[in-house]
Amino acid sequence: MKNQCSVVFSVVRLLIGTIVLFQVKADDEEFIKTKGVQLMLNGSPFYANGFNAYWLMYMAASDKTKVSDVFQQAKDHGLTMARTWAFSDGGADNPLQYSPGSYNEHMFQGLDFVISEAKKYEIKLVLSLVNNYEQFGGKKQYVDWARNQGQTISSDDDFFTNSAVKDYYKNHIKSVLTRQNTMTGMLYKDETTIMAWELINEPRCSSDPSGNTFQTWVTEMASYLKSIDGNHLLEIGLEGFYGQSSPQKIHNNPNFQVGTDFIANNQIPGIDFVTVHSYPDQWLTNANEEAQISFLNEWLSNHIHDAQNILQKPLLFAEFGKSYKNFGNSQRDELFQTVYSAIYSSASSGGAATGGMFWQLFTEGMDSFRDGYEVIFNEHPSTCGIITDQSHKINRIRKMYVKLRNIENRKRARDTRRAQANDSNEN
């Protein structure tokens, strides 16, 4: 089997060098699944270059043209996957969920539009269901709701243990998954444009550094979500920090632990693929550029190795970026090149890395949203070129596998015809 795999990947590398493809058109009739360390779409391995745009639902509720523009630009640059929020909890700024179970229909229709437009532009979506941070409500809003109903709350980490809070969150899962899209007529859980659900963006449970609290929560929520939707993939939203299940790996963390465990959490049944985030500029604030890139190379390599050999699940680099305002375009471009090189090296040899999504893509006229990490193609030509080149490479890999599958299908069909002809002659 090992020799056969080596032959296949050698053929893939050869084909990558000879066939040019920019945009792969996928049949949206099937859900993306997993097979070993690969994502699969329509019987072939699925690889993608993508982007984050947390603001899509929020913007769609007020200015749909921004959503259409960013999807068009993404498609023009070969991007085929996007990650965005399917949450906005409490507060006064036009939330999705006013209070537990009470939803803003206008905002939900914005998310309907996002899914419909993503389908139009052939972009798969990863939808996150709650935030770890206070922005857009997050776990703090959930525990505040419970506190206001008389629950005894000691910290925001009670989000993971309080029964009332967990019920609020489960209700949100059910409300989103069973939502009927007003534009497509389909329930979200039946929308093939949605690639995966994410339980929580960048979870942290510092009150229990052992990781047991978070492990229990993921087990419960993964089981609940899968009881409603057995079609879509599910990931946790982890940044990739190692925990107590692999103490020999903790030294790979950037000098802090947050109560999550990259190995143990991702071994939970129902978690289909693993995610990693990469922000050396935020994690190693006192390190120089050389030290940050050295850390990043090790971070990427270790997680690709562990996804492939320990977890044996596909790996998606779901967030990475660097502030060009603080470090300039050249340092950001180096980070993008480093991440993309690791992804391509793994993907082109059949490894666990299936793609990456940079933080974050904007279109013109979004000045109030800027955070220094945004990419606007017209404003950042060097970064744009790096992203587009990666799209070419990743989409070529997809095309190679599709071609190999088509060759195999034709061979099977030919063999079947020959067998039928032989049977006919014998009769």
Which residues belong to the active site?
A: 202, 319
For residues 143 and 410, give the distance between their C-alpha atoms in angstroms, rounded to a whole number: 57
Torsions phi, psi of 49, nearest 5? -105, 130
Nearest to 66 by CA among 130, 119, 113, 124: 113
The DSSP letter of residue 308 is I
Instruction: Please give the torsion angle defined by the CA atoms of residues 322, 326, 332 and 334, in that order, rounded to the nearest 10 degrees.
Output: -120
| Coil vs helix vs strand at 75 | helix
Enumerate the β-bridge partners of residue 125: 82, 194
Query: What's the chain's length in residues?
Result: 427
CA separation, residue 54 to residues 72, 88, 209 (Å): 17, 11, 28
Torsions phi, psi of 255, nearest 5? 65, 25
Cis, bond preceding 360 (omega within 30 deg of 0):
yes
**Residue 330, token pair as written in the block:** 């050249």
CA separation, residue 302 to residues 199, 240, 296, 305 (Å): 24, 10, 10, 5
**Residue 127, token pair as written in the block:** 């939808």
